[in-house]
Chains A and B, each alone.
Chain A
Amino acid sequence: MSNRDFLGEFEHIVVLALLRLADQAYGVTVRREIEVRTDREVSIGAIYATLDRLETKGYVKSHLGDPTPERGGRSKRFFHVTAKGVAAVNRTHRALGSMTEGLDLVRRYS
Chain B
Amino acid sequence: MTKPSVVQPPRLAVWLVNLFTPYEQVEAISGDLLEEFSDLTLKSGGAFARRWYWRQSVKTIGHLIGSGFRSAPWKIAGAVLLGRVLLPFGFILPEKIIVAVLRVFPVYPNYDHINVYELWMFWVPLAIRIGWVIAPIIIGCIVAVVAKGREMIATMSLGLSFLALRLVAIIVNRPGRILTQPDILLGLIAAFVIGGVIVREIRSALSPRPSPAHC
A residues contacting B by CB (< 8 A) are 26-28, 31, 43-46, 48-49, 52-53, 56, 62-66, 68, 70-72, 74-77
Chain A nearest CB from B162 CB (Å) reads 27
B56 and A44 contacting across the interface, CB-CB below 8 Å? yes
Does A74 lie within 8 Å of B34, measured CB to CB? Answer: yes
* Interface residues on chain B, size class: 20 to 34
Q: Is the beta-carbon distance between A64 and B33 smaller than 8 angstroms?
A: no
B32 and A28 within 8 A (CB)? yes
- What residues of chain B lie closer than 8 Å to A68, measured between beta carbons? 31
Q: Across the interface, name the chain B residue whose C-beta is closest to A71.
A: B31
Known interface pairs A63-B215, A64-B210, A64-B211. Does A45 touch B59 (Cβ–Cβ under 8 Å)? yes
- Name the residue on B nearest A49 (C-beta): B67
Tell whether, in the assembled complex, residue B31 and residue A75 are in contact, meaning their CB atoms are under 8 Å apart. yes
Residue of B27, B64, B211 touching A45 (CB-CB under 8 A): B64
Inter-chain CB contacts under 8 Å: number: 91
Residues A45 and B29 in contact, CB atoms below 8 Å apart: yes
The minimal Cβ–Cβ distance linking A42 to chain B, given in whole angstroms, is: 8
The reply to whether B214 and A46 contact each other, CB–CB distance below 8 Å, is no
Q: Which residue of A lies closest to B32 (CB)?
A: A27
Do B28 and A75 touch (CB < 8 A)? yes
User: Is B63 in contact with A64, judged by CB distance below 8 angstroms?
Assistant: no
Does any Cβ of A come within 8 Å of B161's Cβ? Answer: no
**Is the beta-carbon distance between A49 and B31 smaller than 8 angstroms?**
no
| B25: interface (CB < 8 Å) | yes
Q: Is B62 an interface residue (CB 8 A)?
A: yes
The 4 closest A-B pairs by CB, nearest first: A45-B60, A74-B31, A45-B63, A43-B59
Known contacts: A63-B212, A75-B212, A77-B215. The answer to whether A48 contacts B34 by CB under 8 A is no
CB neighbours of A62 from chain B (8 A): 215
List, sorted by A's number, 21 A–B pairs whose CB atoms are closer than 8 Å: A26-B32, A31-B32, A31-B36, A43-B56, A43-B59, A43-B60, A44-B29, A44-B36, A45-B59, A45-B60, A45-B64, A48-B28, A48-B67, A49-B67, A64-B28, A64-B210, A71-B31, A71-B34, A75-B27, A76-B31, A76-B32
